[in-house]
Homo-oligomer: A and B are copies of this chain.
Amino acid sequence: MFGLMQDWPLTVDKILDHAKNWHSQREVVTRSVEGPIVRTTYGEIHERAKKVSNALLAWGVKPGDRIATLAWNTARHIEAWYGIMGIGSVCHTLNPRLFPEQLIYIINHAEDRIIFVDLTFVPLLEAILPHCPTVERVVVMTDEWTMPATKLPRAECYEAVINEASADVTWGQFDENTACGLCYTSGTTGNPKGVLYSHRSNFLHTLVTLQATIMAATPNETVLPIVPMFHANAWGIAFSGPAAGAKLVMPGAKMDGASVYELLETEGVTFSAAVPTVWQGLLAHLRENNLKLSTVKRVLIGGSAVPESLIRGFNDEFGIEVMQGWGMTETSPVGTLSNMTPELAALPFEEQLKWRTKQGTPPLGVELKIKNVAGQDLPHDGHTYGRLMVKGPTIAGGYYRSDEKILDHEGFFDTGDVSTVDEYGFMQITDRAKDVIKSGGEWISSIEIENIAVGHPKVELAAVIGAAHPKWDERPVLVIKLKPGQSEDKQEHLDFLQGKIAKWWMPDDVVFVDDIPLGATGKVDKKLIRERMKDYRLPTAA
């Protein structure tokens, strides 16, 4: 027997409709790509997004067509995003930090028909577009008077398009499982893979993230999503902001410490989200200039493990709560959050750090397990390592145009991460399955050692990789990029680790490098480090 409640498909156009109906005057402030800080409202964004839809329809866009964006976080990007999704076409967010050949692969794989592009990326697009035969048209997201002379074929000026289009268009009215967004994983192995979000999955993710323990967006919050919309949907903030009627502040192209600081203070930001490297840049700027933050209450940090020094810095120097989150493109992305329970919150802050440096617990809607290689569930004891497996309505069930089976027999997705879960339910990523160092039949977490090593005052970046060893199979090597002007001394970094990790985890060597490469999402690119060090031999392996 079915219930008798209304049939109301969960489609994301209703999110922007809600913002227009109930939070019409709430501001969205953007540091524009052209330079000035510009202001609009959800009411105006709704109107202009409808115009985008009409322009797309006039160009022959059909439901299911992929329409790409190559753009920073701006109000225009939000307009294009809803304009594309509202008519049932698919918003494909391109990550400009990818290598050109990866972008070409992705655009061709997705068969994008139209690309919305920021001024910044016009040269990049000019270079790659000759290799992308499916792209019929490019829309440069700028004003008519700033429209560049470009070699791009069929280049439209966004504001000219908006000026000419009608806002009279019907959104939604389709199945809630209709595809809505497409985002490729940066693909450290093999080709990038496309995660194809549905309206339902994004709507549910929005509700999940609005909880007080996650984004807690409300009309009384001002939210700065520094994490880009091309990085797992800005962790959902382009949905949760309008859903809650929160004021949004969009950072455009500038994510350096000084620019972020300016927006935080002038716009009264209360909540912001970004990867650790952005926050490290902000903290450095604050310290160098002896500045304080007057309105920020909480920051959400994710994308890679959060160093203890960062949590400590925000808390001790600025009185700001750090929430660590874990997720991936395949999880929409929220997977877990490190919210203190009442039991943990009652501990002194120093003791809380043990849990604050973990990735935390899942919200309702995310099922999470650790399993051994035989597929058996592992205990929540805080030290047993297992493959991290997740399941839920916001988790990928397959990749776009791929036959790969990515769920196990229980319907769980293998994250590729290795983690523990403790007796409080706190999950901690100990490593990527491919980065974990296999030494004498046991696993050593490269990430745990890195997080400690980077706390040494002379260290700018650290990476730990496994090097071949005749007896132990692999042994850890600590790779360090020093801060400018610091001198190399292997022993002091080993001494720094002493007592903080198990003896048998102690790296067999320290290697100083001029550069530690970061991947397209700002994480240390260990694949490239391993390539660069392919001729390296352990001194202990002689």
Contacts and interface: CB of A to CB of B under 8 A. Distances in A.
Interface centre among A1, A63, A206, A367 (most CB of B within 10 A): A1
Contacts of A145: none
Nearest to A395: B6
A210 B345 CA distance: 21
Interface string A328-368: 00001000000111100100000000000000011011010
A6 B392 contact: yes
Given A208-B207, A210-B211, A219-B342, A5 B395 contact: yes
Contacts of A196: 3-5
Interface centre among A15, A211, A361 (most CB of B within 10 A): A211
A22 B212 contact: no
A216 interface: yes
Given A364-B15, A364-B207, A392-B8, A2 B178 contact: yes
Contacts of A14: 364, 367
Given A213-B218, A217-B212, A339-B218, A4 B397 contact: yes
Contacts of A365: 8, 207
A265 interface: no
A198 B2 contact: yes
B391 A18 contact: no
Interface residues of A, number: 71
Nearest to A198: B3
B211 A244 contact: yes
One complex includes copies of this chain to the number of: 2
A134 interface: no
A178 B1 CA distance: 6
A21 interface: yes
A177 B364 contact: no
Contacts of A18: 364, 367
A4 B193 CA distance: 12
A230 interface: no
Contacts of A400: 4
Contacts of A339: 218-219
Interface in A22-70: 22-23, 63-64
A1 B111 CA distance: 14
Given A207-B207, A219-B341, A396 B4 contact: yes
A382 to B, nearest CB: 15
Contact of A413 (B6, B21, B206, B396): B6
Interface in A56-108: 63-64, 90
A269 interface: no
Interface string A502-535: 0000000000000000000000000000000000
A425 interface: yes
Given A212-B211, A213-B218, A197 B3 contact: yes
A177 B176 CA distance: 14
27 contacts: A1-B63, A1-B179, A2-B175, A2-B178, A3-B177, A3-B179, A3-B180, A3-B198, A3-B200, A4-B195, A4-B196, A4-B397, A5-B200, A6-B396, A6-B413, A8-B392, A8-B395, A15-B364, A204-B207, A206-B364, A207-B207, A207-B211, A212-B244, A219-B341, A219-B342, A243-B364, A244-B364
Give the top 7 A-B pairs by smallest Cβ distance, nearest first. A3-B198, A1-B64, A207-B207, A5-B201, A8-B393, A6-B397, A4-B196
Interface of A: 1-8, 10, 14-15, 18, 21-23, 63-64, 90, 175, 177-180, 195-201, 204, 206-208, 210-213, 216-220, 243-245, 332, 339-342, 345, 361-362, 364-365, 367, 391-400, 407, 411, 413, 425
